[in-house]
């Protein structure tokens, strides 16, 4: 069999970009991306795509209608396909057994049942979503229990490692492509088919093949290791603030060790995104279920440290603002969980803002890409507040950062958008209440320059010396701590 038709179930942050790049790099393959959401598909077929990713629009425009199609016709797409990617969401369960920790696999199971119900002929089913170890076994079980005569399935694991904001770049130049398959002749044949697709643009030496279970676990392990690095440097940032060391200098010194490496050592207000927290909790849950409490506790600490970091930052803001933010206006710069995306899932901004709202601060929020409705939704959701009406009264969303800072007591930077670096902070200072504060939760601004022009500046993992602040405040620093 040579794969001529691909179907992808799930047109989200993974399914959309992944299949757009496959369509672009494999003009000989017809790629059909389907989703149960009519709105999402409408957006994929419109001028304004449902997700913002640098470079994605150009790829979609080139392939859409040629060999890339978006539709709600799930059954038709399954029937036509030789290979089916399952790219649906696997969020943390919010109910029942494993609530708050286990991955919710109901969408995966629905896909497996739909495939079994409508498929004709031989199909390769590829688990692209992030799943617990041995999820492929459940998929295989559901498929084989419902298989009709003349139909056969091979299930592969092919986890996705793209990061949002750099998805197209990551897909075009992956560090590795991981394919896990059954150790059998049929399994090897299916792995070879998927390898052939990636080989259109990914060199063979970057394509790793393993057992299905190793592949599934490698995805969870990769995210756990990445998140652990962020929590490790954030733990060091607290030590820096207490001792006078500078976490940026420590990160450079530590990262120069080639065994450690310099990436993912940027101290911050905490990690966010739809994956790290969810996948860590899933790993913890799996370890607990396997009666490995020490392993569970080890990884649990990575997410606990993240929560500590977000709370610590919010508390520091209140403390610096003379222990009260009630009725004070704070301009919040950035709401997305990282730059170059409009995604707010698990954004540290949600947690820091909700903490400040609990203290009755007024928040003027600006983000270059996040929709106004999304910010309102995130801050008024039941998980975040018991008083959504009060929150509505306290938040204002701006499309111009210079408007957002008018009469504000402080600026709080929560996302590392490049444009925040080049603002005219002198101009901003002139319209703010004095003393004016800036809290840089992403360590992207020129702190010395801000202090020089008169901002009381606070950042992660560094305390500015009393002398520097005294110079900036003309001696009036008594009220600060």
**Residues of span 259-278 touching ligand NAD by CB under 6 A:** 274-275
Exposure of 215 in the CB half-sphere (CA atoms within 13 A) = 29
The pair of three-digit structure tokens given for residue 136, joined into one six-digit string: 């492929």
Q: DSSP letters along 31-58, please?
A: EEEE-S-HHHHHHHTSSS-SS--TTHHH
Site string for ligand NAD, 130-149 (x = CB under 6 A): x-------------------
Residue 411 touching ligand UPG (CB under 6 A): no
Strand partners, 207: 177
Residue 275 annotated among the catalytic residues of the structure: yes
Site string for ligand NAD, 50-79 (x = CB under 6 A): ------------------------x-----
Residue 164 touching ligand NAD (CB under 6 A): yes
Distance CA 202, CA 163 (A): 18
Toward ligand UPG, which CB reaches closer, 337 or 417? Answer: 337
**Residues of span 108-147 touching ligand UPG by CB under 6 A:** 130
**CA dihedral sign of residues 360, 363, 369, 372:** positive
Residue 273 touching ligand UPG (CB under 6 A): yes
Toward ligand UPG, which CB reaches closer, 142 or 375? Answer: 375
Residue 240 touching ligand UPG (CB under 6 A): no
Q: Which residues are annotated as a binding site for NAD(+)?
A: 10-15, 35, 40, 88-92, 129-130, 164, 275-278, 345
Q: Which residues are annotated as a binding site?
A: 10-15, 35, 40, 88-92, 129-130, 164, 275-278, 345
Toward ligand UPG, which CB reaches closer, 118 or 163? Answer: 163
Residue 59 touching ligand UPG (CB under 6 A): no
The pair of three-digit structure tokens given for residue 425, joined into one six-digit string: 């902070």
Residues 6+ apart with CB under 8 A from 260: 254
From the candidates 7, 19, 275, 353, give the one annotated as an active-site residue: 275
Q: In what order do the strands lie in the sheet with 456-459?
A: 395-398, 362-366, 329-333, 410-413, 437-440, 456-459
Residue 410 near residue 439 (C-beta atoms within 8 A)? yes
Which among ligand UPG, ligand NAD, none contacts residue 221 (Cβ within 5 to 8 A by kind)? none
Closest by Cα among 285, 332, 336 to 13: 336
Distance CA 431, CA 428 (A): 6
Q: How many CB atoms lie within 10 A of CB 92?
A: 20
Q: Tell how far CA 137 is from the center of its chain.
A: 27
Residue 341 touching ligand NAD (CB under 6 A): no
Interface residues with ligand NAD (CB under 6 A) are 9-15, 35-37, 40, 74, 87-90, 107, 110-111, 129-130, 160, 162, 164, 274-275
Interface residues with ligand UPG (CB under 6 A) are 130, 160-164, 223, 226, 230, 264-266, 268, 271-273, 275-276, 337-338
Mind telling me the catalytic residues? Answer: 275
């Amino acid at each position: 069999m040579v794969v001529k038709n691909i179907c992808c179930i799930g047109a989200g942050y993974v399914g959309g970009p992944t299949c757009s790049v496959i369509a672009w790099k494999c003009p000989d393959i017809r790629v059909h991306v389907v989703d149960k959401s009519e709105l999402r598909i409408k957006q994929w077929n419109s001028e304004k795509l449902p997700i913002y990713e640098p470079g994605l629009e150009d790829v979609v425009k080139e392939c859409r209608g040629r060999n890339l199609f978006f539709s709600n016709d799930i059954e038709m797409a399954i029937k036509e396909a030789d290979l089916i990617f399952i790219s649906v969401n696997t969020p943390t369960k919010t109910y029942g057994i494993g609530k708050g920790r286990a991955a919710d696999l109901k969408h995966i199971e629905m896909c497996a049942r739909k495939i079994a119900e409508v498929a004709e002929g031989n199909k390769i089913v590829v688990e692209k979503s992030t799943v617990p170890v041995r999820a492929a076994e459940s998929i295989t079980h559901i498929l084989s229990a419902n298989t009709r005569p003349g139909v056969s399935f091979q299930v592969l694991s092919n986890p996705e490692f793209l990061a949002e904001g750099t998805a197209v770049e990551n897909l075009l130049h992956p560090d590795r492509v991981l394919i896990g398959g059954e150790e059998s002749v049929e399994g090897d044949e299916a792995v070879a088919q998927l390898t052939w697709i990636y080989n259109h643009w990914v060199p063979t030496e970057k394509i790793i093949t393993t057992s299905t279970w190793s592949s599934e676990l490698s995805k969870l392990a990769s995210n756990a290791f990445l998140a652990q690095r962020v929590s490790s440097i954030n733990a060091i940032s607290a030590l820096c603030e207490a001792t006078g060391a500078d976490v940026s200098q420590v990160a450079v010194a530590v990262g120069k060790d080639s065994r450690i490496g310099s990436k993912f050592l940027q101290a911050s207000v905490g990690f966010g995104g739809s994956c790290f927290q969810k996948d860590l909790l899933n790993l913890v849950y799996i370890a607990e279920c396997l009666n490995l409490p020490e392993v569970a506790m080890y990884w649990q600490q990575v997410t606990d440290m993240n929560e500590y970091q977000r709370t610590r930052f919010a508390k520091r803001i209140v403390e610096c603002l003379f222990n009260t933010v009630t009725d004070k206006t704070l301009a919040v710069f950035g709401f997305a969980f990282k730059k170059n995306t409009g995604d707010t899932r698990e954004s540290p901004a949600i947690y820091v803002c909700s903490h400040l709202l609990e203290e009755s601060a007024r928040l003027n929020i600006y983000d270059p890409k996040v929709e106004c409705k999304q910010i309102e939704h995130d801050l008024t959701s039941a998980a975040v507040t018991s008083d959504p009406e009060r929150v509505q009264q306290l938040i204002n969303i701006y499309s111009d950062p210079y408007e957002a800072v008018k009469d504000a007591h402080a600026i709080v930077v929560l996302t590392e958008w490049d444009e925040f670096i080049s603002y005219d902070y002198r101009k901003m200072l002139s319209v703010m209440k004095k003393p004016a504060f800036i809290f840089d939760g992403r360590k992207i601004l020129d702190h010395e320059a801000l202090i020089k022009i008169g901002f009381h500046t606070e950042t992660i993992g560094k305390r500015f010396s009393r002398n520097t602040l005294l110079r900036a405040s003309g001696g009036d620093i008594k009220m600060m701590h």
